[in-house]
Amino acid sequence: MSDSTEPSSTKGLWARLTHLFSSEPETREELLELLRSACERNLLDAEALAIIEGALALSNLTVRDVMVPRSQMDVIRVDDSIEAITRLVVETNHSRFPVVGEDKDDVLGIFLAKELLRYYAGEPFDLRDSLRPAVFVPESKRLDILLREFRVRRNHMAIVADEYGGVAGLVTIEDVLEQIVGEIDDEYDFEAEEDAIVAEQDGSFRVRADLELADFDEAFATRFDETEEADTVGGLLIHHLGRLPHIHETITLNGWRFEVVRADGRRVYWVRVHKLQAPEAESAQDA
């Protein structure tokens, strides 16, 4: 008599997975094809597939592909006053800053914004003494290797050096992780403060993809939340397409046209919705 207590549903899932991967993939393309097939069979959800694809893509990307270019770097000058440093921290909401001497090629170290707490707590503060060593990486370094180095060294920022030894930009661990999980929003992202529904001049509406379907229904007198197996506007599109939609891709549902206006390989951010007239809606549904 077997003492296994594994539920039959779990056994069924394992059997399906075993069958799916019974033919071992020999290339990355074959592996991705298997994973996409698993998504179509509901063994993986679209979000999980996107994360796996993003992780696999890291080895094909370099620091140059994701770095903040030199011209856009927010830096602290070593002779800046404490008031100027505080103002920059407040304006940018960054947690780390390169500190430079004569110019941006002269990086002296990395300043952590939390060090300002010492000054405002009444402790002695010296900018040079509070600097952390700067880590330099070449533009050509692969992102998967950089991510490993970030984890091992417990570092969050690196200065990107060009082939002549100058500073080409900077890269953070967040820049790398966003290639896997999509854009990482925080409480300081201004877009998060925008209204979830914005009226456009042409009569359409720009809608945040994370808007709950119940709130969408309330705003537009629809009934998606009652009939669909999704919780958000973005989830609605993913459910019907069976994958993450591409930017500018459109889909018509119940007389409403949804167009993706902002997305990346991991996530949908904004969707434009337009109520179709009856003949147009019928034609679109037929198509």
β-pair type (250-253, 256-263): antiparallel
Is residue 129 in some structural domain? yes
Is residue 3 in some structural domain? no
Task: Show the domain range for 135.
Answer: 64-181
Give the DSSP H/E element, type plus range, for residue 258. strand 256-263
Q: Does pTM surpass 0.75?
A: no
The string of DSSP codes covering 78-146 is TT--HHHHHHHHHHH--SEEEEESSSTT-EEEEEEGGGHHHHHTT----TGGGPBPPPEEETT-BHHHH
What's 200's domain CATH number?
Answer: 3.30.465.10
Same structural domain for residues 93 and 172?
A: yes
CB 210 within 8 A of CB 234: yes
Same structural domain for residues 113 and 171?
A: yes
Is residue 1 in some structural domain? no
> ∠ CA(265), CA(267), CA(272), 5° rounding?
110
What's 68's domain CATH number?
Answer: 3.10.580.10
d(CA 151, CA 225): 41
d(CA 235, CA 228): 10
Last residue of a domain, one of 46, 61, 76: 61
Per-residue pLDDT of the chain (287 residues; tens, 9 = 90+): 444 454 555 555 555 555 555 556 667 777 778 778 777 777 777 777 777 777 877 888 889 988 888 888 899 999 999 999 998 888 888 899 999 998 999 999 999 999 999 888 888 889 999 999 999 999 999 999 999 999 998 889 999 999 888 999 999 998 888 887 766 555 444 344 468 898 887 889 999 999 999 999 999 999 998 888 888 999 999 989 888 887 778 999 999 999 988 776 667 888 999 998 864 444 444 33
- φ, ψ for residue 11 (rounded to 5)? -60, -40
Same structural domain for residues 27 and 103?
A: no
- Alpha-carbon distances of 215 from 81, 183, 261, rounded to whole Å: 48, 24, 20
Same structural domain for residues 69 and 27?
A: no
Is residue 208 in some structural domain? yes
Same structural domain for residues 163 and 101?
A: yes
The separation between CA 63 and the C-alpha centre of its own chain, rounded to angstroms, equals 16
Is residue 96 in some structural domain? yes
| Amino acid identity for residue 55 in this structure | A
